[in-house]
Amino acid sequence: MMLLAQGVTAVLWAIIVFALSFVWFRPEHRGGKPWLTHLGALIFGFLFGGFIGLVMVPLGQAVTEGRIEMYSTDYLKWYLPALVVLILMLRTDVTVRLPLLGAPIRAYRSALLRRQIAQAQKRLAKMEGMGAGRGQQD
């Protein structure tokens, strides 16, 4: 039953990230191949969902149910290395260097970065407009 909950969590995260990739990214954010960006979102969603479903959900359930003590070494010696490896895989460019998965993940991450840059430029232009109005009042 626990494995089913973990798998469902991973799949749900993948579906959510995949669906949001259609909403978040405009054509100017995506590169030449939009399907590559969406495939990268699906893969990244599975990785992130695996992290949540296979590491965080069991650890949270075990701690809240009181099956383990908070600092039990028997339990943490299995989950802590997996947690560190998955965090490093998600935060560094290790996933980009994988042979078949690298190109879609690279496309997704570059589209995400382009979107963040566009949003920052809009906010900066809005703030500059607000500052110009205040300078004229003085």
Q: What is the pLDDT of residues 6-50, one digit of tens each?
A: 888 889 988 998 999 888 888 777 777 888 888 988 988 888 888
For the chain, the C-alpha Rg in angstroms (whole number) is 20
CB proximity list for 5: less than 8 A, separation 6 or greater: 53, 57
Report the C-alpha gap between 135 and 34 in whole angstroms: 43
Report pLDDT for 30.
Answer: 72
Backbone angles phi, psi at 113, to 5 degrees: -65, -40
Report residue 81's pLDDT band, with 50, 70 and 90 as the boundaries: confident
Spatial CA neighbour of 21 closest among 110, 119, 117: 110
Distance of CA 18 to the CA centre of its chain: 11
pLDDT above 50: residue 138: no
Higher pLDDT, 54 or 112: 112
pLDDT above 50: residue 102: yes
Report pLDDT for 15.
Answer: 93
